[in-house]
Amino acid sequence: MEGKEQKFTDLFELREDLGKGAFSVVKKCIDIRTKNEYAAKIFNTKRLNTRELQKLDREARICRLLKHPSIVRLHHVFKEDVVHVTYMVFDLVTGGELFDDIVAREFYSEKDASYCIQQIVESIAYCHQMSIIHRDIKPENLLLSSKNPGAAVKLADFGLAIEVAKGEKGWYGFAGTPGYLSPEVLEKDPYCHPVDVWGCGVVLYILLAGYPPFWDDVQERMYKQIKAARYDFPSPEWDSVTSEAKQLIRGMLTLDQDARLTAEQVLKHPWIKSREKVASTMHRQETITGLKKFNARRKLKAAMHAVGLVAKKSSFFGSTPRPTSPDSTPKTSTSDLGLPLLSECETDTPEYEIILITNKLLNVIAAADFGEYCKYVADDITCFEPEAGGYRVEGLPFHKFYFNNDSSKNPVNVTFLNPKVRMLGDDAAVITYYRIVQSLNSAGGFTSTSSQETRVWQKLEGNWKCVHFHRSSN
Ligand code: ADP
Ligand code: MG
């Protein structure tokens, strides 16, 4: 299949759709000469910006590198710049999604779940050995090689994968799918390979329960649960799960990424390694029933994305009304963290990073934590705020006064509305938003103030710092 001159369409015939993602369509295709079947992931590159094109190159580069029985194999990439289309030709896998297969089974036990997660974690252990972090472990990306019983699980979709040497923790951007994001990513802490083990932990929990460990109609509340690694094993459905399975989940869903099991350690866990002796063989009908509902909800969400009922990336910023979610998120939702609702698509954008960091700064201010505040602002920050009577204020002492003299220490709630972000190159951005602060006053009543703010962020020595802000009067 070499020969740079040859075009995809000269060599392959396209057939039916196999799936759709945020930026691509996957179609079955047939090698005209050999009649072999493949899956072509097709990208329309016309409207992609430089950054997105680089990501596409990254995906191709990573897929080329990975050769493992539990990973979909890439054969060839055709970049047809004239027509603005890129084709990535993969081995065709015909078993569909793993989760769709499980719900169609007559019999399903812990032992089956153990076998599934073993293959998934084997593929992840291999990625980690090859210095790759997948960052998007979730059911949609777990396929089965064929429809035969016992078919191999194949990890797909390296669209968010990155090349990072083992142990090289860093902030590589906010990426993943909401329910599977790790606490460290949500906290915007430096992260590394353990994010994949967390994602596998979420998948394993679902494989055993039929529902996810972290869930709330309001996404930000779900994020709170994740950040605290707050989940449980409710009765009665978990009563029949072996303690070894629960112990393994605890090891994978460990809050502290350094204490979390590594992929290699997961593979050595008795529930995996000595499956025959340790994992239960009791049929789990309730799990199948739960999984059916879980799958239906996921598909509905995906379908709504496809027809645009759920806002896509481009409308995250500054669009009101908020995107609605099929999980009955209130339309007026201005959740306690006030983050714009995310849809299940790429969140790895600099704009989203600015929204997150602004949100974090506002919460630090609400918590009156001056030490934390200093981490987010430049020493020579300038501002115009009503408190200074319209004069420009420079430096931190002016702000410190407020933090030190905030005698109220009453709980406050910040709501952050309608953010609009404009990137000024890679290292600077402006964000404007509406901020509402509710607080209890000493008389026991509450007050609510609102203002419009503009903040200028600049990346200084690798960290985003607020260098200027401007607040309207209340
Ligand atoms: P995206 O990055 O856009 O999410 P994926 O690589 O996950 O794209 O592919 C989207 C969907 O296409 C998958 O969820 C799956 O259903 C289907 N798909 C992907 N690769 C293959 C393949 N090699 N064989 C069969 N179907 C595939
Ligand atoms: Mg995908």
pLDDT digits (tens, 9 = 90+) for 67-110: 999 999 999 999 988 888 999 999 999 999 999 999 999 999 99
Strand, helix or coil for residue 90: strand
Catalytic residues, by residue number, are 136
Q: Which of 70-84, 355-369, 384-398, 445-459 has the highest mean pLDDT?
A: 70-84
Amino acid at position 151, single letter: A
Look at ligand 1, atom 7, and give the residue with the nearest C-alpha. Answer: 157
Look at ligand 1, atom 11, and give the residue with the nearest C-alpha. Answer: 19
Domains defined along the chain, listed by start: 8-91 (3.30.200.20), 98-288 (1.10.510.10), 350-471 (3.10.450.50)
From 30, 41, 63, the mutation candidate for ligand 1 (largest count of ligand atoms within 8 A of CB) is 41
Confidence of residue 306 (pLDDT cuts 50, 70, 90): low
From 17, 71, 143, the mutation candidate for ligand 1 (largest count of ligand atoms within 8 A of CB) is 143
Minimum mean pLDDT range among 70-74, 204-208, 269-273, 431-435:
431-435
The pLDDT value given to residue 221:
92
Which positions ≥6 away from 263 have C-beta within 8 Å? 121, 124, 125, 128, 193, 196, 197, 200
Query: How far apart are alpha carbons 272 and 317 in whole angstroms?
Result: 44
* Beta-strand relationship, 12-20 and 153-155: unpaired
Considering the chain, what is the average pLDDT of its residues? 86
pLDDT at 44 over 70: yes
Kindly report the three-state secondary structure assignment for every residue of 156-224.
Answer: CCCCCCEECCCCCCECCCCCCCHHHCCHHHHCCCCECCHHHHHHHHHHHHHHHHCCCCCCCCCHHHHHH
Confidence of residue 303 (pLDDT cuts 50, 70, 90): low
Count Cβ atoms below 10 Å from residue 350 Cβ, excluding itself: 19
Give 367's DSSP letter: T
**Tokens at 320, concatenated:** 């009101």
Residue 72 φ/ψ, nearest 5 degrees: -60, 130
Query: What's the mean pLDDT in 190-208?
Result: 98
Ligand 1 pocket by Cβ (under 6 Å): 18-19, 21-24, 26, 39, 41, 72, 90-93, 140-141, 143, 156-157, 159
Count Cβ atoms below 10 Å from residue 176 Cβ, excluding itself: 26
**Percentage with pLDDT > 70 across the chain:** 86
Q: Is 283 exposed, middle or buried (0-12, 13-18, 19+ CB in 10 A)?
A: middle
Kindly report the three-state secondary structure assignment for every residue of 394-448.
Answer: ECCHHHHHHHHCCCCCCCEEEEEEEEEEEECCCCEEEEEEEEEEEEECCCCCEEE
Q: Residue 311 in contact with residue 123, Cβ under 8 Å?
A: no
Look at ligand 1, atom 3, and give the residue with the nearest C-alpha. Answer: 21
Task: Give Dmax over CA atoms of the chain in angstroms.
Answer: 82
Confidence of residue 217 (pLDDT cuts 50, 70, 90): confident
181 CA from centroid of ligand 2 (Å)? 15
**Ligand 1 atom closest to Cα of 157?**
6
141 CA from centroid of ligand 1 (Å)? 7
Residue 288 φ/ψ, nearest 5 degrees: -60, -45
